[in-house]
Structure 1
Amino acid sequence: MTSALPVLGAPDPDTRPRNRRRAMRVLLVDEDDRILLFRDSDPGLTPVPVFWITAGGGVDPGESDLEAAVREVAEETGLAISESALVGPLAERVVVHGYSDVVTTQDEQFWFVRCERFEVSTAGHTEVELATMTAHHWWTRDELAATTEEIWPRDLLAIRDRVTAEDTAVAGAPLALGDVDESTVAPA
């Protein structure tokens, strides 16, 4: 997630602040096997690039990974889940997000939650999220396979396929996705 700077104007890309954090991403999958994604953007650029992302975000100090995943789902979607609803981790990676205002390196884990389709609430979104996250959509597998839009993570369907048919366990060890660059402006 970008900082508040895109709304105010982007600094020179070579002087962008850099940060590192641990983050939890959650694949919310409904009863028809659709995955909830949010349309995010980098308003510091023209034209404004857009990309679709899973729910999730940074782990706060003193918070466990599972506590962060539960909190992020509630804040970004309005859905209350329990830690026991989380299946995973499905995958792990280190991702660099170079935005127009900041470069963020995230140590990420991906989790799965089966849920009934619900109406998303943005009441818990921060001011920045309200400015940058402009839509949400429940994507079918066919839509994801056919789209030309940017989907982050690019390996979303492979991550989704790590869940067993019963939605209760991960098929094998977490998928190691390695180091990934998903940027609107190159990090270096």
Structure 2
Amino acid sequence: MTDLTVRRRTTARVLPVRPDGRVLLLHGWDPLKPDTTYWFTIGGGVEEGETIAEAACRELREEVGIELPAGELGAPVATNTIEYEYSGCLIVQRQTFFAVAVDTVDVTFANQEELELQTISHHGWWYGDDLEATGLAAHVTIPAMLRQATDAITLRRAS
């Protein structure tokens, strides 16, 4: 096995949840493995000088065109650290997840960076159980994260 370069990063992830409990995900692939596609959460790296909430809102705007002030994100619903291979590197990623309630959303890829435009084909709305059944989640933790986001939004709406 070849030694991979290890890249550590802190990311902010956003889980937009519709009233029916489905969560918005992106469909894409590793640029070195275009035939292996998967569904993944919206988000990306926290840039220098940004708070995690600011990064989450920036990524939400860039990746799917949803505008949301950082103050409206609320508290994170989860954090975790995962490891995965991407573009020939081993990524060790510390993730903070925010759940946001949305009604109608016009998803646009107009603000995506070039690499995103080349490696993301479309978006979809998923229930955690349905995604888990497909086996097409980018990481094994994503279906449970969708269920957790839906539960958090349901509780917020009830209070």
1:87 pairs with 2:87: no
Q: How does the TM-score come out when normalised to structure 2?
A: 0.85
Q: Which runs of 4+ in 1 moved over 4 A?
A: none
Kept in 2: contact 1:21–1:107 (CA 8 A): yes
Following the alignment from structure 1 to structure 2, what is the Cα–Cα distance between the partners of residues 73 and 159? 19
Residue of structure 2 aligned with 1:42, choices 30, 39, 49: 30
- Using the size of structure 1 for normalisation, the TM-score is 0.73
Q: Partner of 2:92 in structure 1?
A: 105
Q: How many residues are matched? A: 156
**Counterparts in 2 of 1:100 and 1:14: CA distance versus 1, 3 Å:** farther
C-alpha change, 1:31 and 1:109, in structure 2 (3 Å) is same
Q: Which amino acid aligns with 2:83?
A: V
Q: Assess, with a 3 A threshold, how the Cα gap between structure 1 residues 73 and 93 changes in structure 2: closer, same or farther.
A: same
Match of 1:116 in 2: 103
State the percentage of identical aligned residues: 33
Does the CA-based 8 Å contact 2:127-2:146 persist in structure 1? no
Of 147-156 and 80-89, more deviation after overlay is shown by 147-156
Which structure has more strand as a fraction of its residues?
2
Kindly provide the CA deviation profile for residues 139-187 of structure 1, in whole angstroms up to 9, marking residues without a partner as x. 2455335333225324224432551634269xxxxxxxxxxxxxxxxxx
- In 1, Cα distance between equivalents of 2:150 and 2:123: 22
The aligned counterpart of 1:71 is: 58
Letter in 2 for 1:44: L
The unaligned stretches of length 5 or more in structure 1 are 1-12, 170-188
Q: Secondary structure at the match of 1:33?
A: coil
State the AA in 2 paired with 1:159: Q
Structure 2 residue ranges without an equivalent (≥5): none
Structure 2 distance, partners of 1:141, 1:25, is 16
More helix by share: 2
